[in-house]
Chains A and B, each alone.
Chain A
Amino acid sequence: NAGVTQTPKFQVLKTGQSMTLQCAQDMNHEYMSWYRQDPGMGLRLIHYSVGAGITDQGEVPNGYNVSRSTTEDFPLRLLSAAPSQTSVYFCASRTTGGVLDTEAFFGQGTRLTVV
């Protein structure tokens, strides 16, 4: 199993450019989420999805869009990149079977720099 795969690993954008960060998981997990990691601020939730066709906002959603057309894929779109979006982005997935939370599996991250 590949687990959670993120592409690309590194990306440099100019201010105003758009791009999509890809995330795919092969564990048939219902729940997928995107976090950004900034120094001294831990991991902050951007958007999440509890299943295909269902998405919701997290703590810091502004400037980002998501969609969930399949169970496996959960892309994150930056419509007009800003320097404040320079960060490391992590995608995570987990199963939500029953009432118990389960381990979240993270991808390797995408390091994004906006100049």
Chain B
Amino acid sequence: GENVEQHPSTLSVQEGDSAVIKCTYSDSASNYFPWYKQELGKGPQLIIDIRSNVGEKKDQRIAVTLNKTAKHFSLHITETQPEDSAVYFCAASLTGTASKLTFGTGTRLQVTL
């Protein structure tokens, strides 16, 4: 089955700096890569996703890049703010009715003032 590795496990940045979280996946057939943000005491919430026919996607301060050849994808957050502090999860799956999301182990991002 699919295996997703995520690094780093913790990341501390100063407000205004950029943050980058990286993930690698094992199944070359995976073609959907979402990123979830989990705030304390809450369930994960989708912040951005990318499909295998796209190399990069942006949404305001958040961007995701995908390198299918190397089987890795990354989350980039620019101009970080204190409210970006949370745990971030990457995931991978094959699209289809019975596809299953496989999650990375999470990155705890701390944005300091």
A contacts with B, residue count (CB < 8 A): 28
A29 to chain B, nearest CB (A): 12
* A12 at the binding interface (Cβ < 8 Å): no
Whether A106 and B45, one on each chain, are in contact in the complex, defined by CB atoms closer than 8 angstroms, is yes
Cβ 8 A contact of B34, one of A33, A41, A48, A103: A103
Tell me whether B96 and A99 are in contact (CB under 8 A).
yes
Q: Which residue of B lies closest to A6 (CB)?
A: B43
Interface residues on B, range: 20 to 34
- Chain A to chain B contacts (Cβ below 8 Å), 26 pairs: A4-B43, A40-B9, A40-B105, A42-B89, A42-B104, A42-B105, A43-B89, A44-B103, A48-B100, A50-B97, A50-B98, A90-B43, A96-B96, A100-B51, A101-B34, A101-B95, A101-B96, A103-B34, A103-B49, A104-B34, A104-B46, A104-B101, A106-B45, A107-B43, A108-B43, A109-B42
